[in-house]
Amino acid sequence: VQLQASGGGLVQAGGSLRLSCARSGSMFSLHATGWYRQAPGKQRELVASITGNGDSRKYADYVKGRFTISREEPSNTVYLHMNEVKPEDTAVYYCASVEAPYGSYYYNNPPTMNEYTYWGQGTQVTVSS
């Protein structure tokens, strides 16, 4: 299974950006997926996640109301829509996933960071003030 994260770049504070996480190579069509970020000198932290069934979305407090996670199933792509970005959103953003077929735990429940099986390579987001 491969995850390809893309869409990062330089954006001004208050602007918008859309990150994409394209998944390939899995025999399962449903995955629970999360977006994480890591700024220099800081630990990797959760941004948002979506369960296998797509019904439950979880957001970190510092992005609630500004970021939205969505999924496009035919293309196995998960998006992170970033609005009203701030300089403190500057980080490398990673997507991660784990198989979540119907009846599995992650079909209904969001994984913790250590429970994700697959990780993308990261995409840099830089917000200028």
Full pLDDT tens readout for the chain, 129 residues? 999 999 999 999 999 999 999 999 998 889 999 999 999 999 999 999 999 999 999 999 999 999 999 998 777 999 999 999 999 999 999 999 999 999 999 999 999 999 999 999 999 999 999
Q: Count of CB atoms within 10 A of residue 123's CB?
A: 22
Name the DSSP class of 112. P
Which contacts (CB < 8 Å, 24+ apart) does range 63-68 have?
63/89
For residue 86, the Cα-to-chain-centroid distance in whole angstroms is 17
Q: Are strands 123-128 and 9-12 parallel, antiparallel or unpaired?
A: parallel
Pick the closest to residue 72 from 46, 101, 50, 105 (CA basis). Answer: 50
Instruction: Return the SS3 of 41.
Output: coil
Torsion of CA 112, 113, 117, 122, to 10 degrees: 140
